[in-house]
Amino acid sequence: MRDVRVLGSAVSIALCLVVGCAKAPSPAGSGGTIGPIGTGGRGSGGATGAGGAVVDASLDAATGCGLVGAPTGVLGSQTITVGSQARTYVLSVPRSYDPNTPLPLVFGWHGHGATGAFARQVFSIEPAAAGGAIFVYPDGLGAAGATDWDYTATGRDVELFDTLVDYLTSTYCVDRARIFSTGLSAGAYFTNLLGCCRGDVLRAIAPVAGGPPSAATCAGHVGAWIAHASNDPLVDFTTGGIATRDFWIARNGCSTTLAPVAVSPADCVEYQGCQPDLPVVWCVHTEGHSWPSMANCLDGGVCLDAGPAIWTFFARFR
């Protein structure tokens, strides 16, 4: 199933991103705090190399560790209050969840007009994670079939991200050094915005079929796995995909030297010379404006399974 629903114009999406990444204050009453990874974090691990080398990072305090009784399984139609507005999301917590074992937290942002439940189905990252992470799929606001994200750095959806991070890290045993974000189309634009404005909270991102943030100032740094179709009819390959790639290459100080990714998919390449612990992987396919999946590969073009590839990338960070 392909998500071909995006904003009316990719240009209008990019223009709606505001300049600047001032961080909104955490909502009163929400659990936990949001801030940079603790001392010895990003710069303390082993340097990354080609082919899926493990990236080390220190474990920040996880306030939900040791708490018992938190629900597990796939929890649909969850509600959380952001400001004065009720927001909904799908939460997936492994049945094998141990409150004494910190797990990564992965955000999945749907495309324009879709839902968190749809994103969970299409992204299909959880099977590859095999119980190794907590996943959250928020719902955008808007009428059915027209849901979307607010692309302003201090807007309602960045506040939603902050509120969910606060709540989930205070309820579950989350490894705050391993919080990730991925998204498709409009969700990829939003993931790129978060990677810039919440780079001191996120560890890495994986935008698919989106465009770069237009923010002039970023907070912190993230690793980036980027996928875009060379034949995308809705979000231009050059101004969307290549521009996203070039943004993170520049942000992470990478060279133009490439190396193939040893771990599947083989069609992806990794830029060399990036700052320690800040890899950039670039994947090009020909599946159009969709979430890349071998199940969608019907024309004999360049195909890849984004879900397992993204999890392989996120799993590098320790």
Give the number of other Cβ atoms within 10 Å of residue 24's Cβ.
17
User: How many Å apart are CA 177 and CA 159, to the nearest integer?
Assistant: 20
Query: Which pLDDT belongs to residue 267?
Result: 78
Listing DSSP states for 169-192 in one string gives: HHHS-EEEEEEEEEEETHHHHHHH
- Write out the two tokens for 159: 């506040």
Domain segments of the chain as ranges:
53-60+74-314
Query: Which pLDDT belongs to residue 216?
Result: 67
Query: Which pLDDT belongs to residue 266?
Result: 61
Question: What are the start-end ranges of the E strands in the chain?
Answer: 73-82, 85-93, 103-109, 134-138, 174-184, 204-208, 223-229, 258-260, 268-271, 280-285
Q: What angle do CA 254, 55, 242 make, to 5 degrees?
A: 35
User: How many Å apart are CA 292 and CA 64, to the nearest integer?
Assistant: 34
Q: Please, what CATH class does the domain formed by 53-60+74-314 belong to?
A: alpha beta
Residues of the chain with pLDDT under 70: 1-62, 216, 262-266, 296, 298-300
In this structure, are strands 258-260 and 268-271 parallel, antiparallel, or unpaired? antiparallel
Query: Which pLDDT belongs to residue 40?
Result: 31
Question: What pLDDT digit, counting tens, does each position of 116-158 carry?
Answer: 999 999 999 999 999 999 999 999 999 999 999 999 999 999 9
205: amino acid identity, one letter:
I
Query: Which pLDDT belongs to residue 62?
Result: 52
Residue 227's nearest CA partner among 247, 254, 207, 211 is: 207
